[in-house]
Amino acid sequence: MRVTENLIYSQSSRSISQANEKMLNAQEKLLAQTDIVKPSDNPVGASQILMHQDNNNRLKQYDESIKMAKNNLEYQEVALESLNDSLDDIRTLFIQAQNDINSQEDLDAIGQEVAMIANSMAELMNSRSADGNYIFAGTDTHKPPFVLNGEGRYQWAGNEGQKFAQISEDVKVAVSDSGKRLFQDVWTNKGFTSELFLGDVSLTGKVSNQEKFNQFMADNYDPVNPADNVYRLTTLPLTQQDTDVNVADIVDTLLTGSNTKEDQERRRGFEGTPGMFKITNSSGEEVSSGSYVAGKPIEFAGMSFTLDGAPGAEVGFSLDKPKRDNVLNEIKDTLAVLGDKSSTKEERRAAFQDVTVSIHNTQRSISEGRSSVGSRLNTLSSREDFSSSNQLSNTIAKDRIGGLDIASAASELSMKETALNASQKVFTRMSNLSLFDKM
């Protein structure tokens, strides 16, 4: 074989190049902190690392969605909590307003404070998130959900849709709630309307037990056939057979348990024969009956009818259609009665009763909303913890497959550098040699 200078240079250059490549590869692994820099280093391990890396990238995308969802729900939770506190304040003020020692100036001052809180509540119902979207507007988040109409009453202007966040491949979480369900579609106070048809008597009809009346409404109100919601109360004089009963015993029975001065005088001054009453439904069926004494309330299904006059009167009463309305409108109606100097004590009592029921029902709706928001926040937190654990597991798996032993890698790099230096020195020595050099 003929050894030429070109061959010597070629072999020396190749040795330096290989040593340099090995050193650079060791250096690259050390810088990348992995034993697999390119797929050829470990084809199977490289594919597994890519799989774990893809899983982590997907989880990080879901993490961004979870973060956005938590921000929206936390905004909503704060708004609901503030609204509930405001309703507590308004209810307290209305309780103060019912004190008989209040002058009209006191009532006006209370009304002004309530109005200020109500205005603050309107802003909370139209709350926006950090990105400027209305959080209670449903899916139409670029317009305020509650607006004032021409009559100065709040009306719903959003929709009932919900926005969702994808927090995993198979799980979506609602990140918004419709203000219509929370604040607008709240039941107002249920009531009835009574009218004297016959008889020379005075009539007072009111709800004396709201819970009993609400139950009666739930069991008997017919939204399809309004005629079925009409009843008739009739007072009748006792028949001859009835008058054989000791009248004093009837009166004493009616007034049992009451020893007020008024009832004692009524016992002593009772004149004539007490009567009977009966209540019939729209079909003429008797649903209640009993003894009647003028001025003594007749109680029926949470309703109270006081007739002051002789038997022989007829009263018609009908169940009012239940309605839903924004609590702000109910507060406004009560403030109008409170600020009217000519309003009667009974009108104010009814207004306070109406707004109290509306506040109670709204707070119950808000409580349900807060519970739902809290449940979704818990779901997001659990999913966030799961994502963190999963990402950590993927990272550990990647490290197990392509992890680098720093000490070994540093030693290998040192060895490669030494080999390169040796190759370079050999090349230098070889380059100074010649086949024609003489001894």
* Residue indicated by tokens 């799961």: 386
pLDDT at 241: 43
State the Cα–Cα distance between residues 228 and 329, nearest whole angstrom.
30
- Averaged pLDDT score across all residues of the chain: 79
CATH architecture of 57-186+337-388: Up-down Bundle (1.20)
* Residue 39 pLDDT > 70: no
Q: Are 76 and 177 spatial neighbours (Cβ–Cβ below 8 Å)?
A: yes
CB atoms within 10 A of CB 433: 9
State the Cα–Cα distance between residues 177 and 137, nearest whole angstrom.
8
Tens of pLDDT, residue by residue over 194-224, are 999 988 888 888 888 888 898 898 889 988 8
CB environment 277-295: b (16+ within 10 A), e (fewer): bebbeeeeeeeeeebbbbe
pLDDT at 267: 45
Sequence-ordered list of residues with C-beta below 8 angstroms from that of 332, at least 6 positions apart, any chain = 118, 152, 153
pLDDT at 13: 61
Q: Place 90 in a pLDDT band, splitting at 50, 70 and 90.
A: very high
Instruction: Kindly state the average pLDDT of the residues 343-348.
Output: 86
The continuous run of DSSP H or E covering 288 comes out as: strand 286-292
Q: Which of 86, 162, 161 is nearest to 122 (CA)?
A: 86
Residue, of 271 and 366, whose pLDDT is higher? 366
Instruction: Kindly state the average pLDDT of the residues 47-53.
Output: 68
Q: Place 364 in a pLDDT band, splitting at 50, 70 and 90.
A: very high
**Which of 156-160, 201-205, 360-364 tops mean pLDDT?**
360-364
State the Cα–Cα distance between residues 420 and 414, nearest whole angstrom.
10
Q: Are 330 and 154 spatial neighbours (Cβ–Cβ below 8 Å)?
A: no
Tens of pLDDT, residue by residue over 290-340, are 889 888 899 998 999 999 888 889 999 999 988 889 999 999 999 999 988
Domain definitions of the chain by residue range = 57-186+337-388, 192-322
* Residue 438 pLDDT > 80: no
> What 3-state class would DSSP assign to 234?
strand
pTM as predicted: 0.69
- What residue spans of 317-405 are helical by DSSP H? 327-339, 345-402
State the Cα–Cα distance between residues 150 and 298, nearest whole angstrom.
42
Tens of pLDDT, residue by residue over 401-426, are 555 545 565 566 566 666 556 665 65
pLDDT at 169: 83
Tens of pLDDT, residue by residue over 240-278, are 445 444 444 444 544 454 556 555 554 444 444 478 999
Planar angle of CA 112, 85, 212, nearest 5 degrees = 90
